[in-house]
């Protein structure tokens, strides 16, 4: 909200959530019925009211495309204008960008219903284009300029316009984030060409809707945080610089505040001397761009089909929440309709990983790359070879980009796929990029979640590198490790130091109050646990039944850490983890790069549990556990060594 909210700052349907779309439904149903009835009588139906709903749906899709493209471009970073951080607060503040689209639809219905001259408009009338252009360049732009300057007076700014300017780093939807009263004035200005067309008999359905799309286009263009307007346009037609702004031109208004007030046409800033003198220079610099090679690349992949919509490039409000959180019921059906076609498209078109997120921690730049393949494809024999090729190509791309460290998230480090990343080092021994599987820090995070005072744990799962290192670390801390699987017991017995093997026991009892579990723990197995048992996953995937299949047991998070405050531009959740929490595997690569450790941590190589934990804490990472309210920190923690 504004710093000192004034009257009518809240939107009328603020408390309705996504049920606000129900306000449009009666009007849409009636206009469709009226059009159908007129057609049945052989009369000409009203096209303007009929096209309100299709236009609304088109504008929603159009806006989402702008969001996704803009976020993809800023992740690539070459033409980024402002390099400051964008946070979760901004995402929350801008999540209701569709309010103005709904308001437009309702006003169109009301005007069409109450004004006879707005009914029976033809599909197209070329004279309307001239009327609209002249009225927009004249009264709309002129009145907007002076109204905008008035909004920057401290009285109106504190009560209304400060809400919009809270976003220093702009995104396309920042353009439409205003208090209701302010947005209502803008609608009054934009109504001048629309109502004038209709009143003078020059209006048309196509021109009315085209004007809305033009407003959307210019709004979103100006609030992109990257420059995309080609210089050739201004070279071919020099006066265009007075008639069309650019993203860099308007970004100066959000960083300098007292310059570049114009709506879309900079002419009035030139006329009244409010154009920022650095506008042309900023345009030239950002258009030329600069390449920023990542220091750390985290390679992850899609999980379920719905995870595509939860990416930073997808729906911003979904990306800002954990993957397993349920969308509002009003949206659930629509998400289910689009997620599977999008999943199929991603798998069809994706031959390599794509950049999803770019972050910074001091001078260290990090990127998250997503392999467009799903968990089911990683575990499928049919798709396994194709997945392997995509991952290997992503590793090669990271090496070519100059990344110092590459971390392998989720199933990208599977032993069957690449032997915990060792396969890439074997194939290219001189690889400069360090492959980090994050085992040491993941084990340290698991140890932190083991409740204080635990003297024994039950270790379940399959043999893997994390299990071996975890068992060794537990035995070193004088904690009895019980294993019910004979094959796992034998394998661990060969890998644990001889002097510690006495603390590894083959057991047929499930009575331990602490279970360390991997993937695939079934509900039936969980039923064997005694009340009060702690389920601590050492896998990158949460326990089956997530968050509490047993109400009388405690479920801990997957190994993870809270990101330091200095870690910037973090406004999307990593899979099922909450805000500003990242998996230990992802954090391990950042720590590895910050410490400039020379070796790989892949295959059998281990950085060291205590070493990795101390380094992570020293760089500002904090322990995380979803069950902190139910469990105390680990006895004999790694940071106490």
286 and 356 in contact (C-beta within 8 Å)? no
Q: What is the pLDDT of residue 326?
A: 54
Distance CA 187, CA 104 (A): 8
Per the structure block, which two tokens stand in for 237? 């037609």
Distance CA 384, CA 379 (A): 7
- Angle 398-404-406 (CA atoms, 0-180°, nearest 5)? 50
Q: What is the pLDDT of residue 641?
A: 33
Distances (CA, A) of 82 to 64, 159, 247, 253: 21, 26, 11, 12
441 and 585 in contact (C-beta within 8 Å)? yes
Q: What is the CB-side half-sphere exposure of residue 200 using CA atoms within 13 A? A: 15
380 and 413 in contact (C-beta within 8 Å)? no
Q: Which residue has the tokens 């100066």?
A: 252
Give the DSSP H/E element, type plus range, for residue 36. helix 25-40
Closest alpha carbon to 516 in 561, 464, 455, 458: 458
Contacts 24+ apart (CB under 8 A), 199-204: 199/117, 200/131, 201/117, 202/125, 202/127, 202/128, 202/130, 202/131, 203/117, 203/118, 203/121, 203/125, 203/128, 204/121, 204/122, 204/123, 204/124, 204/125, 204/128
Kindly give the residue spans of alpha helices, DSSP state H, lying in 138-297. 141-151, 154-156, 162-165, 180-199, 205-222, 231-236, 247-256, 267-272, 279-288
Helix (H, G, I), strand (E, B) or coil at 472: helix
Over residues 222-274, the pLDDT tens digits come to: 999 999 999 999 999 999 999 999 999 999 999 998 999 999 999 999 999 99
Distance CA 241, CA 209 (A): 26
298 and 409 in contact (C-beta within 8 Å)? yes
Instruction: Please report the sign of the dihedral spanned by the C-alpha atoms of residue 165, residue 169, residue 175, residue 180.
Output: negative
Domain boundaries, the chain: 14-288, 296-438+580-618, 441-561
Q: What is the pLDDT of residue 333?
A: 60
291: number of Cβ within 10 Å? 9
Backbone angles phi and psi of 307, in degrees to 5: -65, -25
Backbone angles phi and psi of 33, in degrees to 5: -65, -45
Give bridge partners of residue 296 from the DSSP assignment: 366, 405
Helix, strand, coil in percent for the chain, rounding step 5: 50, 10, 40
Task: Specify whether the backbone of 404 is left (phi greater than 0), alpha (psi in -120 to 50) or beta.
Answer: alpha
Distances (CA, A) of 160 to 179, 191, 377, 389: 6, 21, 50, 53
Q: Which residue has the tokens 């069409």?
A: 112
- Class of residue 586 by CB neighbours under 10 A (exposed 0-12, middle 13-18, buried 19+): buried
557 and 501 in contact (C-beta within 8 Å)? no
Q: What is the pLDDT of residue 289?
A: 87
Distances (CA, A) of 620 to 145, 372, 564, 565, 566: 46, 32, 5, 8, 8
434 and 406 in contact (C-beta within 8 Å)? yes
Q: What is the pLDDT of residue 341?
A: 76
DSSP 462: -
pTM: 0.90
Distance CA 464, CA 443 (A): 12
Contacts of 94 (CB under 8 A, 6+ apart): 167, 171, 173, 174, 177, 316
Per the structure block, which two tokens stand in for 376? 């089911």
Q: What is the pLDDT of residue 296?
A: 98
CATH number for the domain running over 441-561: 3.40.50.720
Distance CA 152, CA 161 (A): 7
Give percent of the chain with pLDDT exceeding 90.
80
List of the chain residues with pLDDT < 50: 546-547, 629-641
530: number of Cβ within 10 Å? 11
Q: What is the pLDDT of residue 331?
A: 56
Per the structure block, which two tokens stand in for 231? 């210089």
Contacts of 251 (CB under 8 A, 6+ apart): 81, 82, 170, 225, 282
DSSP, residue by residue, 307-320? HHHHSTTS-HHHHT
Give the DSSP H/E element, type plus range, for residue 395. helix 384-401
Give bridge partners of residue 371 from the DSSP assignment: 301
Closest alpha carbon to 413 in 423, 399, 404, 427: 423
Per the structure block, which two tokens stand in for 288? 């030329």
Helix (H, G, I), strand (E, B) or coil at 595: helix
CA 599 to chain centre: 32
**How, if at all, do strands 456-459 and 480-483 pair?**
parallel
Q: Which residue has the tokens 């699987």?
A: 485
């Amino acid at each position: 909200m504004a710093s000192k909210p004034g009257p009518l700052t809240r939107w009328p349907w603020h408390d309705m959530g996504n049920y606000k779309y129900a306000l449009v439904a009666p009007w849409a149903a009636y206009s469709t019925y009226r059009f159908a009835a007129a057609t049945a009588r052989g009369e000409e139906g009203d096209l303007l009211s009929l096209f309100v709903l299709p236009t609304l749906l088109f504008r929603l899709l159009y806006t989402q495309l702008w969001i996704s493209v803009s976020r993809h471009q800023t992740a690539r970073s070459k033409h980024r204008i402002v390099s400051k951080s964008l946070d979760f607060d901004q995402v929350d503040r801008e999540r209701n960008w569709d309010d103005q689209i709904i308001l437009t639809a309702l006003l169109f219905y009301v005007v069409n219903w109450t004004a006879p001259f707005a009914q029976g408009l033809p599909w197209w009338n070329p004279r309307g284009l001239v009327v609209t252009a002249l009225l927009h360049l004249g009264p709309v732009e002129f009145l907007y300029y002076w109204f905008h300057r008035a909004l920057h007076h401290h009285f109106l700014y504190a009560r209304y316009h400060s809400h919009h300017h809270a976003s220093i780093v702009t995104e396309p939807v920042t353009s439409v984030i205003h208090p209701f009263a302010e947005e209502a004035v803008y609608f009054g200005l934009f109504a001048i060409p629309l109502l004038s067309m209709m009143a003078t008999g020059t209006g048309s359905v196509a021109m009315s809707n085209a004007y809305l799309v033009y407003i959307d286009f210019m709004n979103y263009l100006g609030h992109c945080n990257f420059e995309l307007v080609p210089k050739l346009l201004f070279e071919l037609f020099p006066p265009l610089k007075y008639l069309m702004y650019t993203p860099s031109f308007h970004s100066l208004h959000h960083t300098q505040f007292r310059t570049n007030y114009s709506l879309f046409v900079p002419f009035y800033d030139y006329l009244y001397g409010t154009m920022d003198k650095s506008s042309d220079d900023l345009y030239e610099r950002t258009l030329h761009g600069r390449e920023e090679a990542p220091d750390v690349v985290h390679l992850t992949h899609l999980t379920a089909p719905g995870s595509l919509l939860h990416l930073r490039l997808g729906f911003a409000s979904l990306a800002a929440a954990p993957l397993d959180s349920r969308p509002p019921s009003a949206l659930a059906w629509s998400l289910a309709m689009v997620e599977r076609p999008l999943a199929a498209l991603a798998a069809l078109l994706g031959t390599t990983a794509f950049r999803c997120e770019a972050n910074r921690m001091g001078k260290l730049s990090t990127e998250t790359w997503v392999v467009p393949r799903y968990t089911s494809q990683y575990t499928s024999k049919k798709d396994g070879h194709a997945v392997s090729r995509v991952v290997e190509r992503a590793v090669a791309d990271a090496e070519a980009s100059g990344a110092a460290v590459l971390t392998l998230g989720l199933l990208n480090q599977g032993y069957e796929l690449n032997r915990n990343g060792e396969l890439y080092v074997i194939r290219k021994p001189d690889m400069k990029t360090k492959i980090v599987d994050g085992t040491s820090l993941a084990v340290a995070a698991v140890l932190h979640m083991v409740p204080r005072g635990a003297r024994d744990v039950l270790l379940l799962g399959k043999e893997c590198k994390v299990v071996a290192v975890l068992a060794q670390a537990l035995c070193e801390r004088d904690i009895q490790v019980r294993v019910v699987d004979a094959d796992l017991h034998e394998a661990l017995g060969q890998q644990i130091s001889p002097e510690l093997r006495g603390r590894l026991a083959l057991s047929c009892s499930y009575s331990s109050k602490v279970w360390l579990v991997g993937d695939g723990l079934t509900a039936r197995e969980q039923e064997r646990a005694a009340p009060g048992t702690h389920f601590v996953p050492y896998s990158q995937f949460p326990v089956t039944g997530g968050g509490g299949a047993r109400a009388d047991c405690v479920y801990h998070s997957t190994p993870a850490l809270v990101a330091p405050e200095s870690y910037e531009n973090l406004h999307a959740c990593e899979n099922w983890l909450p805000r500003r929490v990242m998996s230990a595997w992802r954090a391990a690569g950042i720590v590895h790069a910050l410490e400039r450790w020379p070796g790989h941590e892949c295959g059998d190589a281990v950085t060291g549990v205590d070493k990795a934990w101390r380094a992570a804490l020293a760089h500002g990472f904090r322990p995380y556990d979803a069950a902190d309210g139910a469990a105390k920190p680990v006895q004999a923690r790694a940071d106490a060594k």
